Amino acid sequence: MKVTTKLTSFAIICSLLSSTTALANPLEINAMFGQMYSSDLSATDNSSINVDAGSNIAIGIAWQESVNGQGQILLNRVSHDFTSENNTNDSLDIIYAHFNGVALFRQQNYVTTMSLGIGGAYFDATSGGEKVYPSATVSLGTRYEMTDNIAIVTELRGYATLIDKDDAMFCQQDICSANFENSVWIDTTISVGIAIKF
């Protein structure tokens, strides 16, 4: 199951990367890191289980669609730790894969960015199972263009993932260490990084 999910994700990403639009324009590689803050989980008695702010790393591949717009494929990975209701340390690893449209608002070397995207999120819990869910993302960021090919980037990005509250994601043999609180999982990240244009 795990191998099949990863192969399917890899095939989708390769298809997007090989699109004629992406290959026809110069590419930009964006690498970012930061902190990601998430929704909480709930225990079987409906009390809240705090999920920590995990470090995240993101890789983006973008191409110029116009002077003021880019297309982008963004992969973002985070690992959230939490203490389950039976006092064991667990983690929830999430990989986000999104296709984004990025609007660029230029003021000489300083650029404000806004983006919207759709895609999926791969959830993998150490205490249970793994699932792929549909997801959307929105961001607001800045770029300081040091040269024509290099920019320092900052970004505030939010992810909303539509989950099935009743999934036994954190369960093993009918014993659950946690449950989802809501039908929408929210992750918010503050990141900084570098963009290099080829």
Q: Is 90 exposed, middle or buried (0-12, 13-18, 19+ CB in 10 A)?
A: buried
> What is the token pair recorded at 99?
């296709």
Angstrom distance (rounded) from CA 31 to CA 48: 34
**What domains lie within the chain, and their CATH numbers?**
2-197 (2.40.160.20)
pLDDT tens digits, one per residue of 56-108 = 999 999 999 988 999 999 999 999 998 877 777 888 999 999 999 999 999 88
pTM of the model: 0.84
Q: Quickly tell me which residue has 């659950």 as its tokens.
A: 176
